[in-house]
Amino acid sequence: MADEAARDDHWDAEFLALVDRVRADARLAARHGLLGRYDEENDPDRGVGLFEAVAFQETSELSDSGWLNRHEAIVRLEARLAAMKAEATAGYEASLHGVSADLGRRHPEPGDREAEPGERRWVAGDLRSTADELALVWQMHKGAAMVRIHTSCELVHNFPATLRALEEGQLTERAAFTIVRELSVLDDPDARRAAETALLEWAGKHPLQKLKQEAQREAARRSPEARSKAHARAMDERSVRIFPNSDGTAELVHTHDALDAGAVMNSLTRAAARRRRQGDSRSMDQLRADIALARLLPRTDTRGPAESVDNADAGLHDDSTVGADATVAIHATGAEIRALIDGENSTGGTAEHYGPIPQESLRKHLTRALTQSLLGNAGRSRIGLRLSDEPPTGKPDRYTPDAATDRFVRLRDRTCQFPGCNQPAEFADVDHRVAFAEGGRTTTDNLHCLCRHHHRLKHEGGWVVTSNPDGTSTWASPTGRRYRTPPPDRGGSDPPESGPPR
């Protein structure tokens, strides 16, 4: 009996040791991997357990597999946050019930339709814009914010299954938005739901990299007109955009019909190939870029026709077929110009649509402009130099600024001074910060440029702007949030600072 008792005690000890070891392994797994155990289906807390496991995970001894587990968990959390963000966007949009202000009328009239997502609307007598304020919160351009608002509302209201898949981490935000964009061309709700169900089933079995093509096929199967509708929508959104790089270059992106774009590319390639056969040492990419630029801008170089980079195409320099006013302004101070003349190192000024440029770039363009002037082609210069060190005295007691004050303010501001707006000051209104009727004077310090949309928001939408001693401005929205913009002489390139109501 004693031996049996000893054996039982031995096995009990072994069992308890095994239990302790399993528990230790479980604790180690919780610290270093297997985060999926915290990712529950139909989780009422929407990922709180998974977030805590990721946030407090010990990572000092993670293996390669453990790091991948952590990545997968973070991706699932990002998807859940994206679903919450979409719901918050739709909720904010719905909170501002009002009729559309985009009907060509200054004030609402009986029978006006309800505002669509992202549109300006009249709410209780105030002009409100969900896109402007959400763009500031999200730190993005208003146009991109409008697209996100519209897509988020579509996702929440018309694609509940996709929203649920996003909440559960089965889709990424990009995949969910792709489904919404590609299937929203289906007008029949039953066809849209059937396509959504089929697409989500496909997404559960395949990588998401080809989801867009599959979504287009699903839409086309259920509506032969779907692709034509999608194409028409894309053509309505066609544009030319500039994306500045950090090295003194910029990317110019044109959106066109695919066949037209292909024809342009083939034309550039053929012209470049001819130049290569004639002995030009530039690469095909360089030649395509140079030829495209020469076709878009009037000829401004000093080379003869035989030396032109685009001589391969007849009639290329017919000014009736190229840009009429191909000038970009470079804003430089007198100190920057003096440093350039004296051979001292300095900044090179600021180019419109781009930002600060290196001194060498300023030297190159000034030299080219001077050469054109000496050759009698000053009208063809691609740059306009703007010097504005000292503000004019103006006529402060007159409501309308004189020409010198107007020009100084536009050159100083360069863009609309609403936070994040990039509309050129050339086409903006010159507005009094402190209203003239309230004692504000017509001086350069009290004037700033606002595009017509933001000018209306300021006067009819409850936005209030104040100037700060450091040269910055603070815009207060109707919600009480404050957004600070940099001084005008910094070019407005820094993102606005945002904060909660104060």
Q: What is the pLDDT of residue 305?
A: 39
Residue spans of the domains in the chain: they are 1-26, 75-236, 240-321, 328-386, 403-499
Give the 3-state secondary structure percentages of the chain, helix then strand then coil, rounded to 5: 50, 10, 35
Residue 131 to residue 112: CA distance in whole angstroms: 20
Which of 97-101, 166-170, 174-178, 325-329 shows the lowest per-residue confidence on average (mean pLDDT)? 325-329
pTM of structure: 0.74
Q: What is the pLDDT of residue 27?
A: 54
Q: At residue 322, does pLDDT exceed 50?
A: no
Question: Of 138, 141, 225, nearest to 173 (Cα)?
Answer: 138
Q: At residue 231, does pLDDT exceed 80?
A: no
Cβ burial of 469 (10 Å; 0-12, 13-18, 19+) is exposed
* Selected residue with higher pLDDT from 311 and 345: 345
Query: Chain-centre distance of CA 395, in angstroms?
Result: 40
Q: At residue 421, does pLDDT exceed 50?
A: yes
Q: What is the pLDDT of residue 201?
A: 95
H-run or E-run covering 183:
helix 173-183
pLDDT digits (tens, 9 = 90+) for 267-315: 899 999 999 999 999 999 999 999 998 888 765 444 443 344 444 443 3
